[in-house]
């Protein structure tokens, strides 16, 4: 990247603070229990860990929202939580990040989706994840909650610059609700980005989708092993899903953009040799991408900004976020 290209990227990053993004998604409370190993148990061949601290961080669609807020934009977050302590802890964390939570509704029929990770290791070494326990109910949300989310989206979308749909398969998005959400964004003339783990075909007609290699393989119907296979599948999938753009993320192999006219653009991974933790990296990519598009960046420029953001976040532990200042430093470092 030369200095001119760097200046172009920085120009758009500086516009982030003037943007407002709606995020509609499956909300997850990511709980981290941090402990030190003490000894082996006499009861079973397992470690006994001494509890040190625990924290709840935004996960799922809430993590994408947290990434966008960290980059300086205003975020209006829509979703569903339970009536429980996990919801309270998650809302407190979102409030501290100045994320608008008026579009988050309670569902007393299910718990807040919660993923608990136990990290172990002494103070002198990097703590590693030992086990993860998920508490998730994945049935469709009620008609009443669907209507509340739809009404909120329709009412507020005009005041926003773009919308991000973050689908973790927990029940917000289904065959009845998803087309309506996508149509609302299209009718308002807003950019819409989709990060869907299980049901991307339901989001036909969105502006851009960002499946990873595993998700793309599942949609295509066969495992994509080579770059040639990825490119063949991507061209077909973009047309089949009626997307303006399709971005397949490929971990250490970078990401590949598919654009109108069967155009293909492959972007190598940023700083993959320094990967520490990939938790939540997909949320960082799609959150940064939709924000850059909202800031007026051409799609290829937006993807390069998102790629650099991912290169920063994978060097951090756990569910992490990136700031605009960090991103600008990364751009300038790559220009040098």
Catalytic machinery residues: 283
* Gap between the Cα atoms of 303 and 20, Å rounded: 19
Quick one: which of 112, 176, 186, 118 has its CA closest to 147? 176
Residue 230 DSSP label = H
Is residue 23 within 8 A of residue 76, CB to CB? The reply is yes
Cα separations (Å) of 163 from 60, 170, 277, 301? 15, 19, 27, 19
Q: Which two structure tokens, joined as six digits, stand for 21?
A: 């993004």
Residue 324 DSSP label = H
Alpha-carbon dihedral angle through residues 229, 232, 238, 244, given to the nearest 10 degrees? 110
Is residue 90 within 8 A of residue 81, CB to CB? The reply is yes
Cα separations (Å) of 236 from 33, 215, 232, 259, 291? 43, 15, 7, 11, 27
Q: Which two structure tokens, joined as six digits, stand for 134?
A: 């998920």
């Amino acid at each position: 990247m030369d200095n001119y290209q760097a200046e172009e990227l920085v120009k758009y990053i500086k516009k982030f603070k003037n943007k407002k993004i709606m995020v509609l998604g499956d909300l997850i409370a990511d709980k981290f229990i941090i402990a030190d190993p003490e000894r082996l148990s006499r009861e079973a061949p397992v470690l006994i860990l001494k509890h040190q601290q625990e924290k709840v961080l935004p996960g799922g669609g809430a993590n994408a929202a947290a990434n966008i807020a960290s980059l300086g934009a205003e975020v209006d977050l829509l979703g569903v939580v339970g009536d429980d302590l996990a919801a309270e802890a998650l809302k407190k964390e979102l409030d501290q990040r100045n994320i608008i939570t008026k579009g988050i509704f309670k569902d007393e029929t299910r718990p807040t989706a919660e993923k608990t990770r136990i990290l172990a290791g002494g103070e002198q070494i990097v703590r590693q994840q030992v086990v993860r326990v998920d508490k998730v109910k994945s049935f469709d949300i009620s008609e009443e909650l669907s209507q509340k989310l739809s009404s909120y989206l329709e009412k507020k979308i005009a005041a926003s610059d773009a919308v991000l749909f973050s689908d973790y398969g927990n029940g917000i998005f289904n065959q009845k609700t998803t087309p309506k959400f996508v149509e609302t964004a299209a009718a308002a003339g807003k950019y819409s980005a989709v990060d869907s783990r299980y049901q991307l075909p339901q989001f036909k007609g969105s502006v851009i989708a960002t499946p990873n290699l595993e998700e793309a393989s599942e949609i295509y119907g066969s495992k994509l092993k080579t770059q040639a296979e990825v490119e063949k599948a991507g061209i077909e999938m973009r047309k089949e899903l009626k997307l303006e753009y399709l971005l397949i993320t490929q971990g250490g192999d970078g990401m590949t953009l598919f654009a109108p006219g069967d155009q293909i653009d492959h972007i190598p991974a940023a700083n993959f040799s320094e990967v520490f933790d990939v938790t939540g990296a997909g949320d960082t990519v799609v959150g940064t991408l939709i924000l850059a598009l909202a800031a007026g960046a051409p799609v290829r420029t937006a993807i390069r900004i998102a790629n650099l953001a991912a290169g920063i976040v994978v060097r951090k532990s756990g569910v992490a976020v990136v700031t605009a200042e960090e991103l600008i430093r990364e751009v300038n470092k790559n220009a040098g």
